[in-house]
Amino acid sequence: MRMKDSLAARAETLGTLHARRPLVLPTVWDAWSARTAVAAGFEALTIGSHPLADSRGASDQEGQTFAEVIDAVRPIIAAVGVPVSVDLESGYGQSPEALIEGLLDAGGVGLNIEDTVHSEGGRVRTTQEHADYIAGLRAAADKAGVNVWINGRTDLFAHAADHAAVADEAIVRLKALVEAGADSVYPVKIQDNDELLTAVVQAISVPVNSTAHPVKHDLARFARLGVGRITYGPLLQSALTDSMKAMIGPWRG
């Protein structure tokens, strides 16, 4: 099978998997964690920017260049035979066309894109600006012939002291991302707020992504709230860090 046909097939598989509600995509950061998640029975994965950066001694929030990220995710994706989505932060200053080209070249068939522009002092894109960027990603993916799954993220809640105060604005923004071509949306930092999660889910027509902690959170709760997609962000790596410390601590002697 030609590379492009293989990518298109993986993208279609990823899209089909999203019919599950919720779809859990374990967030991985290297070949070992990716293979471990697949061995546990998961049929698709996401590579998180924060755990990837930590695994490479870099900083999150675009502490690596786009080229470095693509070089890092390539062997991870190659290590497994399932669709992989990649967190590409706010795009590393790249055009939508360049971002899609790099993603596909590495074998990825999904991406996460946020509205905090780290390369420009952490400013937040306007609703129209973020929607336009996502529309560019959709157009570039369509041109490449691969139905890349686009997870449109907003950080409005993350930047707000009062989450309720920005809820209406966030919902308007998420709706604009859907209209621009996002297949799912990701309002970060409200995973512990049942009321806000429910409000977003009820207002949005596509799967809503939530961060989850693999130990402290409960899958049944997210399903009850109507969350359509679950990723771990840095929390799986954090949980493993805690476990590792507990296991090896007694060996200090």
- Provide the whole-model pTM: 0.97
The DSSP bridge partners found for residue 47 are 28, 86
Each residue's pLDDT tens digit in the chain (253 positions)?
467 789 999 999 999 999 988 999 999 999 999 999 999 999 999 999 999 999 999 999 999 999 999 999 999 999 999 999 999 999 999 999 999 999 999 999 999 999 999 989 999 999 999 999 999 999 999 999 999 999 999 999 999 999 999 999 999 999 999 999 999 999 999 999 999 999 999 999 999 999 999 999 999 999 999 999 999 999 999 999 999 999 999 999 8
Measured distance CA(181)–CA(139) in Å, rounded: 9
Measured distance CA(199)–CA(248) in Å, rounded: 43
Alpha helices in the chain (DSSP H): 3-17, 31-39, 49-55, 66-78, 96-106, 127-144, 156-159, 167-180, 194-203, 219-225, 235-248
Domains present along the chain, CATH in parentheses: 3-232 (3.20.20.60)
Phi, psi (rounded to 5 degrees) for 191: -65, -20
